[in-house]
Structure 1
Amino acid sequence: MTRSRSSHRVRPDAPGTTSVPAASGVETARRHRRRRSPTTLFYSAMFTVVQVWALIVLLVHLQPEGVIKVALASVMAAAVIAVITAWQE
């Protein structure tokens, strides 16, 4: 058995309907920019503090050699990128 199309569709030119003009680029950018809640700001701040603390501990207490030094540099770079991304969202 095949389904038929819904008869409740409204044509764009039907009486009683209006069309909404397209928003400009500036209006669209403003519309998508949302305010951050205090909870989100708190979590972003705590995440930043923990990341900075972890980087300081690693730099002060570890004396890596060879491949471990490269891995540590990669993890530290990822942590910096994660902090930046957390504040941009």
Structure 2
Amino acid sequence: HKGQEDDGHLYLIHSGKLLVEIGKGQQVIVGKNDIVGEAVASGFGDRRNATVKTQGQVELIRMERETFLTLMTNMRILSRIKEINQERAA
């Protein structure tokens, strides 16, 4: 729930949908391949900034903060390698 201390994880939605209540009546529905909890997991705070509710049956993949940060670093490196290869091919 919004304002609670975070557990340091983020969640990738494998199947199903979640209702994310951001505040002041703002709601967003997220689904497969979307991520929730990324703000805290990436180091931008230690409190949840939204309340998340399931919309039926949902399967989530729980990821630790360190794993997320490693993946983000690797993705930047892979993106840069792709750019270099495209420059060389031009």
Higher helix proportion: 1
TM-score range, shorter chain: under 0.3
Structure with greater Cα Rg: 1
Higher strand proportion: 2
Instruction: Calculate the TM-score normalised by the size of structure 1.
Output: 0.27
Instruction: Calculate the TM-score normalised by the size of structure 2.
Output: 0.27
Q: Which has the higher contact order (CA 8 A, sep 6+)?
A: 2
